[in-house]
Each structure stands twice: as structure tokens, then as C-alpha cells.
Structure 1
Amino acid sequence: MSLEVLKVLFNRDLNKLKLEIESYHNESTIWCIEKSIVNSAGNLCLHLIGNLNTYIGAQIGNTNYIRNRQLEFSNKFVPRALLIADIEATILMINSTLDQLIDEDLKQEHSYLVFESKTSLEYLLMHLTTHLTYHLGQINYHRRLLDN
């Protein structure tokens, strides 16, 4: 895996996240939960922004981002425009951070314990791409199911 491939994947999927949030016909539906759907698209969006800004921004890029994970799931009715702005800022942060690395850095052990044991930076970044894609799919389904 190369840094260029990782950048392409993060950019592709964060732009898809932006498109999904923009595609809701009714902005309030972004925050809708129903029956067994326990996380709204808005909260999943906040979670992805927090996750990426923590693991890529703060831990790799030294951005001093402070995460409030609980707020990612309890904050409701953040304006769509703010979600979009935060997605765009996350894209810039990821590109800036990954531009500071070289492919050989991917093989190095990540300096923070994220999982049960230490991993390489490459493993962490691959995990973050799949985590993003997983929740992006949930948001897409949420929109198609609940945004009439």
C-alpha cells in the first residue's frame, strides 16, 4: 500500500460523505433515528470526523485536536453547512498530514496503542479507510431509507 493510494481512498470516500450529507432533501432527516437505527447520519458523520482527526490529525500530524467521542453521538442538529465544512477541513488535514510522510513510514510501528497491540502505521491507516467506508455505507442506507 502506498501513501498515494491511501490519499486517493480517503479523498474519494470523504467526498462521498460530503455528497451524502448534501443529498438529504430534508436537513432534519440527517438526525433522524427510527426503530433499530440507533445512530443518525449526522452522528455517524461527527464520529468519522472525530475519528480521523484523532488518529490522523492529532496522532500522526500533531494537530492538537482534542476528541470528545461522547459528543459525536450525543450532539444533535448540527447545521448541515457545519458538517460539510468539517468534512472539507478533514480532507485538507488528511492530505496535509499524509504529504508529510514517505512510503517507508508506513512500515514503522505506530507510536500510540490503538488496538490490543501495537500496529504499523500502514495497518492503522488501512483500518481507518475501512472504518470510513463502513459508516459511509450506513449513511447512504440511512439517507435512502429515511429521507423521503
Structure 2
Amino acid sequence: MNKAEIISFFERELNKLISEIELYKKEENIWHIEKNIANSAGNLTLHLIGNLHTFIGKEIGNTTYIRNRELEFLQKNVPRKKMIASINDTLKMIEKSLNSITNEDLKKEYPVMKFPKAETTEFLLIHLINHLSYHLGQINYHRRLIDG
């Protein structure tokens, strides 16, 4: 897989994330937790933004991003418009970071040990796309369950 293809997957999934957040009829429902639902769509969105800025922005794009993973799940009631702007900023960061490397760099070892053994940058990026898709599905289900 080349970096253009990888970027296109991130674009597709992040644009779907924006659509999901926009589809909530009541903005407050983005943050609603009920019964056995552990995380709101808002907190999952903040988590995805933090995750991508850490593993792509900081490690590949050399940004100065400092992650506060705990806050991703504690913070509440971030306005929808602000979250959508953050998702768009995340997409721009991904494009800039990945356009700064070559397709050959994708085959090199990712600089941080995230898995039990060393993996390539390409492997990590595909893992991140899957992580994004997984939580996007949870957000879709949350919206349909909570916002009806």
C-alpha cells in the first residue's frame, strides 16, 4: 500500500466521523452515556483525535503534540463545531505528516514500540485505520441507539 492510498482511507473515515457527529439531532446526545455504554461519541471522538495526533503527528510529522489520554475520556460537552474543526485539523495533520515521508519510509520500522515486536510504519498506519473504523462503528451505533 502506498501513502496516497493510506491517506485516502484516513480521509474517508474522518469524513464519516464528521458526518456521524453532524447527524446527532440533539448536540447534548453526543455526550450521553446510558446503562452499559461506557463511552460517549464525544469521548470516542476526542480519543481518536488524540490517538492520531500522537502516533502520526508526533511520531511521523514531528509535531509537538502532547497527549492527555485520560482527559480524552473525562472531558465533556465540547461543542460540536469545535470537535468537527478538530477532526478537520487532524486530517490536515495526517496529510502533512504522511506527505513528508516516502513510500519507502512506510517499510521502515515505526519509531515507537507499540506492539509486542517491532513493526513497520505501514503496519502501524493500517492498525490506526482499523482503530478509527472500530470506534467509528461504535459512534454510529451510539447515535442510532441514543439519538434515535
Q: Mapping of 1:1-148 within 5 angstroms?
A: 1-148=1-148
Deviations 1:52-73 (A, max 9, x none): 0000000110111000000000
Query: RMSD of aligned C-alpha atoms?
Result: 0.7
Q: What is the TM-score when the length of structure 2 is the normalising length?
A: 0.98
Structure-2 separation of matches of 1:2 and 1:45? 26
Cα displacement (A) at 1:117: 2.1
Deviations 1:72-94 (A, max 9, x none): 00101111111001000000000
Which segment is superposed worse, 86-95 or 109-118?
Answer: 109-118
One-letter amino acid of the counterpart of residue 122, structure 1: E
> Where in structure 1 do 4 or more consecutive aligned residues deviate above 4 Å?
none
For structure 1, which runs of at least 5 residues remain unmatched after alignment?
Answer: none
For structure 2, which runs of at least 5 residues remain unmatched after alignment?
Answer: none
Structure-2 separation of matches of 1:136 and 1:5? 19
Size of the aligned set, in residue pairs, is: 148
